[in-house]
Amino acid sequence: MKLAEITNHVVDLAKDCGEFMKKERETFSSSNIEYKGKNDLVSYVDKETEKKIVARLKEILPEAGFITEEGTAGLDGEELQWIIDPLDGTTNYIHGLPCYSTSIALAKGKELLIGVVNDVAQGDCYHAFKGNGAFCNDQKIEVSPNPTLSKGLVATGFPYYEFKGMSNYLKIITHLMQNCHGLRRWGSAAIDLAYVACGKYDGYFEYNLNSYDVAAGALLVQEAGGTVTDFSGKDDFLFGREIVSGNSSQSEILEVIQEHWEF
């Protein structure tokens, strides 16, 4: 399988989807909003973008199956799986905030092979394939060289429908607020991970996530020289619904999480 060639096709696809989303945003109306659950928003833009992605990826790699947020394609049990979030940051998009992305990854089981994140509003497309490093707009990127958490900027996300771990999460946030340059909540896990990969953030953590939220971005971080684990420090971040990523200070963030989190 020619990962470089496939990655180039996926980058072009992600950029095309970004142009579609920007165009639709010009006339987007609140009447287009649907609710999948409490605070879990979706629109026709999410669904149509996903359909475009699935159709194109079937042409690029017919033997692969799909894990998609909006359910426009089935899992099908294939060994290779495309893991897709057509519009990561839907709530931002709906409210007119310029932080949303398309995230596309290819995996073989838990092994990530390709990751592409298109930061639509900023015009930056991040990509990586296994063993080749990470790139933003074809320029090689690396995680931040900041040696310690005290000199770093950390990103996180807030749960929006399952709050049972919130009290412990707030303890983690409180500690980090007092021991790093600051915390940011951008609203797109894919962009958060891309920003770790290029050194804008020194770390990112969140729980209650799905594979399509983190797959592409996690590979970006790994290929940029960073570390990605679950809250236990193991490698079940893709399907384990929690992630801690970062540069060399990732271990410090992990220690804070493990001090306060209930496993």
Domain containing 119 — which CATH number?
3.30.540.10
Residue 113 pLDDT more than 90?
yes
Residue 235 pLDDT more than 80?
yes
Helices (H), 100-210: 166-177, 189-197
Pick the last residue of a domain from 141, 159, 183: 141
Q: What is the mean pLDDT of the chain?
A: 92
CATH number of the domain residue 195 falls in: 3.40.190.80
Is the same domain home to 169 and 194? yes
Q: What six digits make up the tokens of 3?
A: 């990962």
Residue 257 pLDDT more than 60?
yes
Strands 101-108 and 80-88: antiparallel
pLDDT digit string, tens, across residues 11-60: 999 999 999 999 998 888 777 777 665 545 578 888 999 999 999 999 99
Rounded Cα distance between 226 and 199, Å, is: 10
pLDDT of residue 78: 77
> In terms of C-beta density within 10 A (0-12 exposed, 13-18 middle, 19 or more buried), how is residue 256 classed?
buried
Question: 106 - beta bridge partners?
Answer: 82, 114
pLDDT of residue 103: 98
| Of 65-79, 105-119, 176-190, 210-224, the least confident | 65-79
Range of the domain at 227: 149-260
Is the same domain home to 155 and 200? yes
> In terms of C-beta density within 10 A (0-12 exposed, 13-18 middle, 19 or more buried), how is residue 234 classed?
exposed
Pick the last residue of a domain from 89, 124, 141: 141
Angle CA(215)–CA(205)–CA(193) in degrees, nearest 5?
45
pLDDT of residue 164: 81
